Amino acid sequence: MKYALITGANRGIGYYLAREMALDGYGIVMVGRNKERLEHAKQKLKTYTPHIHTLVYDLGDPTAPESIYNDVKKLNLEIDIIANNAGFGSYGLFHTNDIKNELDMMQVNMTSLVHLTHLFSQDMVRRKRGKILNVASVAGFQSGPHMNVYFASKSFVVHFSEALAYELKPYGIKVTALCPGSTDTDFFSRAEVNRKSDLFRHKATPESVAIKGYKALKKGKSIAIPGLNNKFMIQIQRFVPRKAVTAILGIGMSKQPNKG
Ligand SMILES: NC(=O)c1ccc[n+]([C@@H]2O[C@H](COP(=O)([O-])OP(=O)(O)OC[C@H]3O[C@@H](n4cnc5c(N)ncnc54)[C@H](OP(=O)(O)O)[C@@H]3O)[C@@H](O)[C@H]2O)c1
């Protein structure tokens, strides 16, 4: 049986990605930090497949990707899809933010994603088959004052995935960067961003984002941007000077009643 490994699968977009893949006949490997939350999600997913494994790891730990890969090998599972979904953001001026949290974010959003992709893509190349879904964001298309490192990390994911899609195409491997806009999940409470801000007013459901992302992966699209609004905003800003885009976002993002 073929398996899909999804990081951050216990809630939000990751849970629905796991559900879509289970509905499509995949066994599921769910990775997350919190054992109870993973177990709860596993119980819900059992409606769709009995083949579910949970791996408890903190992707902020640089040794986690290697351990995850070794666990999968011990379980003797063939991972046909890897969905690097786990990620988080932080709100605030860079110089006032907790640097440990910023570095942790870079580890989870970028380094662990690259490391897991490297480990699992070796097997995919050997098999000449596989799919890689990296969850980026519309934030990956411009710089983001007040969420500086988060935006930069997602920009990394967009560019890394786009180039990887090109490199791995001859090996029959599909790579997609899923770039959601504002989505109704716990993301905002962890990032301490107030969702009532104008910039975050239009919220998609995590379910619709996951469905669109998985469809795009199956079609082999290197970039998937769910929502016409989001597509339009990304296209239009190509015709606006970069400095102006940064300034507009800087003003919009500063209206955050949650923080001073
Ligand atoms: N929500 C949005 O508006 C939005 C927009 C664009 C992109 N995204 C991206 O979508 C992805 C999923 O986020 P979401 O919106 O679904 O948020 P969410 O509901 O907060 O889910 C985040 C998931 O990532 C996991 N995670 C976070 N830090 C982790 C770590 N150190 N180790 C292992 N797992 C970790 C969480 O697991 P725990 O439960 O163990 O913390 C959780 O399952 C993220 O990459 C995010 O940047 C979100």
Kindly name the residue from 48, 91, 150, 214 that is annotated as catalytic: 150
197-236, pLDDT tens digit by residue?
556 667 899 999 999 999 999 999 999 999 999 999 999 9
Report the C-alpha gap between 133 and 80 in whole angstroms: 11
Is the separation of the CB atoms in 112 and 82 below 8 Å? no
Within a 13 Å sphere around the CA of 173, how many CA atoms are in the beta-carbon half?
Answer: 29
Residue 259 lies in a domain: no
Q: Mutation test of ligand 1: which of 104, 147, 183 has the most ligand atoms closer than 8 Å to its C-beta?
A: 183
Residue 260 lies in a domain: no
Residue 68 lies in a domain: yes
Residue 128 lies in a domain: yes
The DSSP string of 185-229 is STHHHHHT--TTSGGG-S-B-HHHHHHHHHHHHHHT-SEE--SHH
In one-letter notation, the amino acid at residue 101 is: N
**Percent of the chain at pLDDT exceeding 70:** 94
13 CB within 6 A, ligand 1: yes
Residue 217 lies in a domain: yes
Residue 224 sits at φ, ψ, to 5 deg, of -125, 120
pLDDT of residue 260: 39
Domain that holds residue 161: 2-254
Report the C-alpha gap between 222 and 160 in whole angstroms: 11
Is the separation of the CB atoms in 249 and 144 below 8 Å? yes
pLDDT of residue 198: 56
Instruction: Band the pLDDT of 181: cuts 50, 70, 90.
Output: very high
Q: Mean pLDDT over all residues of the chain?
A: 94
Answer yes or no: is pLDDT of 237 > 70: yes
149-179, pLDDT tens digit by residue?
999 999 999 999 999 999 999 999 999 999 9
In one-letter notation, the amino acid at residue 203 is: K
pLDDT of residue 73: 98
The enclosing domain of 41 has a CATH number of 3.40.50.720
Residue 135 lies in a domain: yes
Residue 183 lies in a domain: yes
pLDDT of residue 87: 98
| Total tally of structural domains belonging to the chain | 1
pLDDT of residue 109: 98
Residue 212 lies in a domain: yes
